Chain A
Amino acid sequence: QSVLTQPPSASGTPGQRVTISCSGSYSNVGDNYVYWYQQLPGTAPKLLIYRNNERPSGVPDRFSGSKSGTSASLAISGLRSEDEADYYCSSWDDSLNGVVFGGGTKLTVL
């Protein structure tokens, strides 16, 4: 059971906009930044969003993040086949004194 809650799956057709939610509590999402990682099949995770809504250089602006209270979300617009991957949210947890991850969301591009 992950500390952060994500839907196990999401899907969309090319060009569509999809969102992935991440629910936590005050000790993690509510009081700390949220990060999103993309993991393509057979590869290491890659930082996609930092500080709730910032993109590292090289990440397309089709990817955006937001946070409100103890929930966060990742939005992907103009969906492309290469976006098919697993997506994880994470944050620091003040009570656990550690990093917590969501269980991951498998995105399928139909």
Chain B
Amino acid sequence: QVQLVESGGGLVKPGGSLKLSCAASGFTFSDHYMNWIRQAPGKGLEWISLISVSGTTIYYADSVKGRFTISRDNARNEVYLQMSSLRAEDTAVYYCARRDLAELARFGSWGQGTLVTVSS
């Protein structure tokens, strides 16, 4: 079955960096766009970034543009989110999500999430 497992979350100081990973299994990873979506404590969902199957198409939300970098390794079946210049408002649970088919906002599979806390 489809499985997405995020890792790499933790406590980081403002201005610091962190790299999240998402390991995929149970499907052909190289066939699917992948996304990162976050949820601040007690708040709603916020889409962060997407990456195409080849990595040539990448989009970011304005809130993270220039600070976060999404990438993928199809040989390892992993997608990454490199986060830098972190702010308190980046504190959230970060989910990776698989986009289904060619539908731009259809996320049929989600990981369990990894918590990132930005605090001094």
Question: Residues of A with Cβ closer than 8 Å to B?
Answer: 2, 32-33, 35, 37, 39, 44-47, 50-51, 56, 86, 88, 90-92, 96-104
Q: A104 to B45, Cβ gap below 8 A?
A: yes
Per-position binary interface string of chain B over residues 105-117, scored 1 when its CB falls under 8 Å from any chain A CB and 0 otherwise: 1111011110000
Total of A-B residue pairs, C-beta within 8 Å: 67
Complex partner residue of A44 from B35, B47, B61, B111, CB under 8 angstroms: B111
Distance in angstroms between the alpha carbons of A92 and B106 in the assembled complex = 9
Q: A92 to B45, Cβ gap below 8 A?
A: no
Complex partner residue of A33 from B37, B60, B105, B111, CB under 8 angstroms: B105
Question: Residues of B with Cβ closer than 8 Å to A?
Answer: 35, 37, 44-47, 50, 59-62, 95, 100, 103-108, 110-113
**Interface residues of A, dominant DSSP:** strand
Q: A100 to B47, Cβ gap below 8 A?
A: yes
